[in-house]
Structure 1
Amino acid sequence: MPQHTSYTPITHLTWSTLLFPLALVLFEFATYISNDMILPGMPAVVREFGASPTLIPSAMTVCLLGGASLQWLLGPLSDRIGRRPVMLFGAIFFTFSCIGILWAHHFWGFLFFRFLQGIGLCFIGAVGYAAIQESFTEKMAIRVMAMMANVALIAPLIGPVAGAAVLQVADWRWIFIIVALVSAVSLLGLWHQMPETAPMDRTPLRLMTLWQDYGKVFRNQRFVYGGLALGLNSVPLLGWIALAPVILMQNAGLSTLDYGLWQIPVFAGLIIGNLVLAKLVTHIPIHTLIRLGTYPLLLGLLAAQYLLHAPQQWLWLVISMGLAAIGIGMINAALYRLTLFASAQSKGTVAAALGMLNMVIFALGIELLKWAYAQWGNRSFVLISLICGIAAVCARRAFLPGAHPATTA
């Protein structure tokens, strides 16, 4: 049975209490920027290895699959031996996977190391986020997660521009050298600041035990609805990140620098949404904030349908995605907290289940968008994005009415 630690959740935010979240978000920043900085370099990567440009989004897909591959083990493992040692190992593993890609000699080797780098996401979702939720009370945890999201969002905001700048003076391998250095700094921060919050479950880590624990989580309909809503909510944005190099550089003919600059409206919208959430979460019920976020999300996705009639209007698409991103920012951190606590299982196990579900949804969504875009271009992108947004709203409607009363306090 779990034997809970004596760690007391933090009720007020100070600079000292934020040092651990800052170290964790720096690691999250490193994992994200490894993807965002290489995006403007992907045409050069496929040219160097003689691969087809249609494989460019696959680099992001395999990264997300890596992010789903080990969460099933890492969450329960951190419940038993502690969040801290597992998280520290994750930072070390990611750093060396960034160094290893320097020796890739063909595109499939490149994808292999991108998969290994994606495993770094496993440690964030199954271990790091669980530690944050256990370190802070509910509303403080949502505020911290929203603020962390804003720092992490600097990666897709500046990543393409930074990657383009690196490519002006060096080849794409230097991008991963820079990421490895950032990851090493985050490792030092985690080493000095990460507390131990795990329940220290003494149940032996056996496959049958894990199967039973995950079975209990996935049989919880509220958890499944929340996980589906969270995953589908983000598919349009992740699809944009994956396909933006093709939409803006290959088809619209923008330079790598212009491509990076035109990412700013989208991620600025996401930052605005997170700021609104962090500001209002202590004054407005969480459910209300999630519902309010639905309006800009659907309005932006509906506005994007103009491309069904004018598919080459990429500027309108950028503006529409920026509006939808405001809603995504208002929803995600709050919905994550409610979904994580929809199950009574150990939070490492629940966080791992939620992370795996989301990563699978992300990977399938991106591959669907990639395939459809190759057939029908921008029309398919905006239409599938709207369908995902509507499906996310339906899943949230099924999830929210049964929420625990404490979550609205």
Structure 2
Amino acid sequence: MSHLTAKYLAPRLGALVALTPFSVDTYLPAMPAIASQMTATLNEVSITVPLFLIGFALGQLIGGPLSDRFGRKPIAVIGLSVFFIASLLMTFANHIDQLYWIRAMQALGGGFATVVASAMVRDLFSGKDSARVFSMIALVMLIAPLIAPGIGSLILHFSQWHSIFLFLAFYAALLFFLVKITLPETVSNERKQANKQQPWNTLLSNYKIVLTHKRGIGFLLAQGFASSILFIYISESPFIYMELFDVRPEAFPFYFGLVVLGVIFFNRVNIGLLKRYEPRQIVLGVIIAQSIFSLILIGYESVFTPNVFVVLLLMFFVIGLLGAITPNILASYMDFFPHVSGTANGLISSSIFGFGGIMGVVMSELHNGTLQRISSFTLLMSLISLFSLLLLAKVREPIKIPD
């Protein structure tokens, strides 16, 4: 594919994938208001973040192989339709249990909608080219968490929290038409026909292909645990800023956005590094650096009384380095599975959100009202990711792309 085609696809696929951070981050400033109206604690409302991630992971796990069989666009359209309906239903929720159930439905639709993006990239690109396209998509996608809390705060200023989910419904409707009109179908008719002629248990055999690939699983686990760091931060950010450091809800987007700028910064650095190094080489050095900064954060909190701006600076590196981790792991992992890219992408995408959701729930159970517990858990996730790369993915060895 030409460079122009990459530039054409990246912003559109980025907008599609941005559905996830919009879904998670836009309502963060509204959590205290939701908790107050539903007579719930802030921690109970925060659980809707990992709950969404788990449902999102399930949607991707199912939607990935279905997109191999029926094509990328039909699966995305179905997912966006479900997401749209759930977002409208969310405006009628008046109890925390209702919020949980409708949020799970919204998550399933979102998983179906966005799982096709990485599969489309793998249909068209490989190696360094795919890493560059993933980085371009990530850059577009990262605008969403940068502005989403601000959008939520603005909506809260003029309306109630229910209007935030009306905004999400509107965004899903825009994506529906974007997918239908502007995105190409990257699974050929011949390939779809061949996949449809295969028995349904082929879906399970495709997963077996991926799950029995030792190096592939190493990259998958590394991504899952690394991504958990971001989702733990998202889940705990209302506590960190609005409770621990007494930041006002209207100022919350500023603090949250500074850390997201770190992800954008290192995403751009990564694009430059790809001109000289392989994705697997970059990701090893970056995860080592992330572990070091996580350790520095723990040491700072142990010795000094935490200052919000010092914490922000260290979080800028700990969270920001994910901007160089995710594109390179995705590119390395997807190169192993050119013939079952939808299934492979569904699995790694679901692991990203599934691990994030599960670890978010674990973090909520371990929550003790201190920042050190959060940073210690973050270091653990980073170290497990590092050892997965070294011991299972054998990241120091070259990757041979199958014919």
TM-score (norm 2): 0.91
CA distance in 2, matches of 1:284, 1:178: 41
What is the correspondence of 1:31-70 to structure 2 with a 5 Å cutoff?
31-70=20-59
Superposition deviation, residue 188 in structure 1? 1.6
| Aligned residue identity for 1:364 | I
Give the alignment partner of residue 334 of structure 1, picking from 328, 332, 355. Answer: 328
Q: Which residue of 1 aligns with 2:88?
A: 99
Residues 372 and 355 of structure 1: CA distance in aligned 2, closer, same or farther (over 3 Å):
same
1:17 positional shift:
4.5
In 1: Cα distance, 2:269 partner to 2:110 partner: 26
Task: Give 1:212's aligned residue.
Answer: 205
More moved, 223-232 vs 320-329 = 320-329
For 1:183, the aligned partner's letter is: A
Q: Which aligned pairs between 1:260-279 and structure 2 lie closer than 5 A? A: 260-279=253-272
Shift in Å, 1:248: 0.8
CA spacing shift, 1:135–1:343, aligned 2, 3 Å:
closer
Matched, 1:366 2:350: no
Instruction: Note if 1:304 corresponds to 2:297.
Output: yes
Identity %: 22
Cα 1:215–1:405 shift into 2, 3 Å: closer
Residue type at the aligned position of 2:284: R
Q: Which amino acid aligns with 1:13?
A: H
**2:390 & 2:178 partners in 1: Cα distance?**
40
Residue 227 (structure 1) aligns with: 220
2:284 is the counterpart of 1:291 = yes
Instruction: Report the 3-state secondary structure (helix = DSSP H, G, I; strand = E; otherwise coil) of the residue aligned with 1:56.
Output: helix
> CA 1:179 to 1:313, structure 2 compared with 1: closer, same or farther past 3 Å?
same
Residues 34 and 175 of structure 1 are in contact (CA less than 8 Å); yes or no, is this contact kept in structure 2? no
Alignment of 1:3-402 (within 5 A): 10=1, 12-14=2-4, 17-124=6-113, 126-198=115-187, 199-200=191-192, 201-203=194-196, 208-305=201-298, 306-310=300-304, 312-343=306-337, 346-373=340-367, 375=368, 377-398=370-391, 399=393, 400-402=395-397
- Aligned counterparts of 1:388 and 1:165: Cα–Cα separation in 2: 34
Change over 3 Å in CA distance of 1:298–1:72 after alignment to 2: closer
| CA-to-aligned-CA distance 1:222-276 (integer Å, 9 cap, x gap) | 1211111011112222111110101110222110122211112211110011111
Q: What 5-or-longer segments of structure 2 have no aligned partner?
A: none
Question: RMSD over aligned Cα, in angstroms?
Answer: 2.1
Distance 1:125 1:166 in 2: 25
Deviations 1:120-158 (A, max 9, x none): 442355322101221234323221211211221122212
SS at 1:262 equivalent: helix
What is the aligned length?
395
Instruction: Output one character per residue of 1:82-141: Cα deviation in whole Å (capped at 9) or x when no partner.
Output: 112111222222222212211212111112222122224423553221012212343232
Q: Which moved further from structure 2: 308-317 or 48-57?
A: 308-317
Q: Report SS of the residue matched to 2:250.
A: helix
Q: Choose 378-387 or 278-287, whichever is displaced more.
A: 278-287
Tell me the secondary structure at the aligned position of residue 51 of structure 1: coil
Instruction: Report the secondary structure of 1:283's partner residue.
Output: coil
1:218: Cα distance to partner? 1.1
Q: Distance in 1 between matches of 2:281 and 2:396?
A: 12
Q: Residue 3 of structure 1 corresponds to which residue in structure 2?
A: none
- Return the offset for 1:284: 2.2
